[in-house]
Amino acid sequence: NSICAPRFKMASKPNDWIKSMKVAARTMRSENLTPTKLLQRKFWEGFHPYLSQNSKIVSPQSPRAQHWMNLALGRTNIHHKITMNTRDKLVSSSIIIKTENRLALFNQLQDEKETIESELGFELEWHELLEKKESIVAINHHCDTKDESQWPEMYAWLTEKLEAMQKTFGPRLRK
């Protein structure tokens, strides 16, 4: 004893056209990539599932054909950046500060340098960069980024540094 409901007939069904267009676009983009960009994308395509499986506190972004990957740190204009640099043969984990008061925030963190590095268990490079719009706190790991057999070690190193830096810097930067 309820009100009659309208009956809808499907006028069209989803087809594979959109899916095929996405595949075609991806293929076209891949054809225009340099060997270095293809290698970078392959590196991040391997790192993405590694990080997803091995970290409970860091969520990766979608892999792209670029030398970096950005990760949220819980505050606008501050993020965690990891890089895979084939030219300088290194991977790195960095905190990037781009806020309006970045110099004050950077100096506040640098005042805690000894405590922060003690908590982390490793030393960092501190770059105030007065002439730029960002300040950077980083750690680098020199390795042969083109040697795919070393990638699992690089993934482990990046994950370890990401987690440690997220735990140490996150609460300080969210204040």
Edge-to-edge order in the sheet of strand 125-127? 68-75, 78-85, 90-97, 135-142, 125-127
pLDDT value of position 114: 97
The band of 45, judged by pLDDT with boundaries at 50, 70 and 90, is very high
- Assess whether pLDDT exceeds 90 at residue 14: no
Indicate the residue type of 14. P
CB 160 within 8 A of CB 168: no
What's the rounded Cα separation, in Å, for the pair 146 and 43? 9
The band of 150, judged by pLDDT with boundaries at 50, 70 and 90, is very high
What average pLDDT score do residues 33-42 get? Answer: 94
pLDDT value of position 74: 83
Range from 2-6, 75-79, 101-105, 113-117 carrying the lowest mean pLDDT: 2-6
State the pTM of this model: 0.81
Sign for the CA dihedral angle at 29, 31, 36, 38 comes to positive
- Hey, is 20 helix, strand or coil? helix
